[in-house]
Copies of this chain bind each other. A is one copy, B any other.
């Protein structure tokens, strides 16, 4: 009993001191910060440019898949916009990117009744040469292939039909649990003798849009074609198969992978006042899928990060560290931009204080996922009361990093010269993100102005705090 009390007592002492620390902070220094953060949000909500910039990216450039002319236009768009701002430096960092072409044929239908299916070739897939005509087998995710076995799969088209679990509160988590069938399903099914795969679209919606995405082959000698199918048509196939177990499907696609081509990350900096050699990186990805306009994915992230420069300036705040915005190329089907940036940072021997990525859409901000040593995390968590009035005060410990484009900066330990480096991912509301994700519905009209602006305010605020206190 006494021992327990002592433990509690010790804990309590630590707690008391933490509280005293927070209170003394919040009454003193932090009160100035709350004024500064209020100004950041005011600016974002009253005179923000994020929405206007997003409109321009979506409507003047449109979708911008790696290796396309539109991707080149997007590079110029980003370069010119950042040049027109108060940046100290703007430059383009060359990066070789995959050059996958969708082609002009992507068709699938049920042979006996000609029912057309809404599909979209997965990025990286091979074409079908002529056409594939084969029977269908349904697998509830990759983990279901073993149960089905080669006897049920050989010579057939596999429909991967593992559905998002609506019970998972954060939709990104159920995406994580399902996306394996899209990324690796073709290779795994090929091991059992499949001749093609269709993958249920990665969305909670019952809709008739295919939601595309990337895939990859583990065995380059055995590559079978793969396409996303709309959730409605995945369900339709399951139903038709119940009525007619031997139905044949036809798939025809002429997508192909050409040699890598040159593209660019666009980089802009505001030099730090007192520690210009230390860098805070913030970014999103400039490339998008070729369906829709890449509005939430990741036009929102691009304009969020560009807006941060405005928000900081408008407040007359001069950052201590160099603030660097990176518009990454090729997140969607290769991640080459992020890897190249990390290599470049390493070559320069730069100290990175933090890298923050916004690649989860333009919905209402909730907070940030943070990958950092415990003591650093705790310091960031003490900022919570400052963001609470804006509802974006969720600080979630992450072991995963902060995003595909920034993770190479730290997760390869040879790259980072700062063991205390923070990786941060912006967390907006996840509920509607996959309604639009990688589909033709990811357009400007489906982004809410106010939600987008609040996101910029949230990111601007955390960048300000990290710059000031680290």
Residues of A within 8 A of B (CB): 8, 12, 15-16, 19-20, 41-42, 45-46, 166-167, 169, 171, 204, 364, 366, 389-391, 394, 429, 431-432, 435, 448, 450-451, 453-454
Contact = CB atoms under 8 A, between A and B. Distances in A.
A16 B12 contact: yes
Given A45-B166, A169-B41, A8 B16 contact: yes
Contact of A451 (B167, B366, B432, B450): B432
A46 B166 contact: yes
A448 B433 CA distance: 11
Contacts of A454: 169, 431
A19 B7 CA distance: 14
A432 B435 CA distance: 17
What is the predominant secondary structure among interface residues of chain A facing chain B? helix
Nearest to A388: B394
Contact of A431 (B19, B166, B432, B451): B451
A451 B16 CA distance: 39
Given A16-B15, A431-B454, A450-B431, A42 B364 contact: no
13 contacts: A12-B15, A12-B16, A15-B16, A15-B19, A41-B167, A46-B167, A166-B450, A169-B391, A364-B429, A366-B391, A429-B429, A432-B450, A432-B451
A20 B8 contact: yes
B169 A389 contact: yes
A207 to B, nearest CB: 11
A8 B21 CA distance: 12
Given A16-B8, A16-B12, A431-B364, A169 B390 contact: yes
A8 B204 CA distance: 51
A439 B432 CA distance: 23
A453 B42 CA distance: 32
A8 B19 CA distance: 10
Given A431-B450, A432-B450, A167 B16 contact: no
A401 B309 CA distance: 42
Nearest to A42: B167
For A8, A169, A366, which residue has the most chain B Cβ atoms within 10 angstroms? A169
Nearest to A389: B169
A274 to B, nearest CB: 31
Instruction: Across the A-B interface, give the 9 residue pairs with the lowest CB-CB distance, nearest first.
Output: A45-B166, A12-B16, A431-B450, A42-B167, A45-B167, A431-B451, A364-B429, A46-B167, A46-B166
Contacts of A389: 169
Contacts of A394: 391
Contacts of A15: 12, 15-16, 19
Contacts of A451: 431-432
